[in-house]
Amino acid sequence: MNVFIFLTQAFNGLSLFTILLLMSLGLAVVFGLMGVINMAHGELMTLGAYTTYLTARFFGQFLQGWMDYYLLIAIPLAFVVCFAAGYGLERGFVRFFYRRPLDTLLATWGLSLILQQTYRSVFGAQEVSVPLAPWLAGAWQPMPGLDLPINRIFIVGLTLVVAFLVYLLFFRTRVGLRARAVTQHRAMSSAVGINTGQVDATVFALGAGLAGIAGAVFTMIGSTNPGTGQAYVVDAFVVVVFGGVASLVGTVASSFTIAQFQTVLEYVTSNTMAKVAVLALVVFALYIRPSGLFSPKTRS
C-alpha cells in the first residue's frame, strides 16, 4: 500500500466516520439518558434521507433557479422533520416502555418494521437518489496522485460543526445541564424541580434530529431505500457501547477508530471480514474495559 492509497483509504474512513458519528451521537444521548435501545433509530435516518429527496424534487419542479442550493435547505429541514417525529414518538409511544429494556427493544424493533413498510408504500422499494450540487462536484488535489472528493470534504466539515454544536448544547446551556443532571440521578433531578419527562422528550427528539442530518448527509454519497437505516444502526450501537455509554467524547473516539479500522481492512480483505474483525476488536476491548473506552467516573 503506497502513501497515496493509504491517504485515500484514511479519507474514506473519515467519510464512514461522519455517518457513524452523526448516528451514534443521537443514540448516545438517548441511551445514556433513558437507557432506551431504540431499534427504530435507523428509520429516522431514512426519514432524513427521504426528506432530502423530497426537497430536491420540490426545488427541481418549483425553484429550478435555486436548485444548486437545495441542500442548504434540505439539511436543516431533515433535522426539523426528524426532531418533530422523534418528539411525537417519545410522547406517544416510547415513554410507555421506560424501565422495561426488553419491551423497549421489541417495541422499537416492531416500530422499525412498520416504518420500513410505510416507506415502501409511499416511495416504493426501489432506490432513489438526489442530484449533487455543482459546487460539491469534482475533487480537490492537494498533491499529484491524491484526489479528495469535495462532497466528502463538505460532509466532514459539516459533521465537525454538528458535533461542536452538540458539545455546546450539553456543556454550555441550561438544557444540557438538566439533561446531564437527569442522566446522573433522575430521582434527585425530579426532586429539585426538573421536569424529567420534558427532558426525556427533548433529548429523544434531538437524537432523532441528528439521525435526520445523518440521512441528509448519506444522500450525498449513496442512494436511499427503505432499508438504508438498518445498514448503520447496528454499527452505531457498537460505537456507543465501545466508546462508553453517555460519553460524547467516547462516541467521537469510538466512531473514528472503528471507521478507520474497518475501511483499511475492507481494502486489505473484504467487507465481511472487516466487520468480523471490528466486532472481534470491540469484544476484546470490552472484555478489558466493560464500561467502554471513556466510562464516566462514579463513586463506589
- pLDDT, tens digit, 9 for 90 and up, residues 138-194: 888 877 777 788 888 999 899 999 999 999 998 899 988 998 888 888 889 999 999
Angle separating helix axes 248-268 and 271-288, nearest 10 degrees: 140
Question: Which conformational region is residue 124 in: left (phi greater than 0), alpha (psi within -120 to 50 degrees), or beta?
Answer: left
- Mean pLDDT within 220-236: 87
The proportion of the chain whose per-residue pLDDT surpasses 90, expressed as a percent, equals 36
Q: What is the mean pLDDT of the chain?
A: 86
Q: Comparing 58 with 141, which gets the higher pLDDT?
A: 58
pLDDT over 80 at 3, yes or no: no
Q: Which of 274, 202, 293 is nearest to 235 (CA)?
A: 274
Cell of 88: 411525537
Over the stretch 267-282, which tens digit does the pLDDT of each residue have?
888 878 888 888 888 8
- Mean pLDDT within 26-38: 79
Q: Which of 250, 252, 277 is nearest to 263 (CA)?
A: 277
Read off the pTM: 0.89
What's the pLDDT band for 23 if we cut at 50, 70, 90?
A: confident
What's the pLDDT band for 297 if we cut at 50, 70, 90?
A: low
What's the pLDDT band for 265 if we cut at 50, 70, 90?
A: confident
| Confidence at residue 111, expressed as pLDDT on a 0 to 100 scale | 93
pLDDT over 80 at 291, yes or no: no
Q: How far apart are CA 298 and CA 106, in angstroms?
A: 31
| Confidence at residue 144, expressed as pLDDT on a 0 to 100 scale | 75
| Confidence at residue 246, expressed as pLDDT on a 0 to 100 scale | 66
pLDDT over 70 at 298, yes or no: no
- State residue 113 phi and psi, 5-degree precision: -65, -40
pLDDT over 50 at 300, yes or no: no
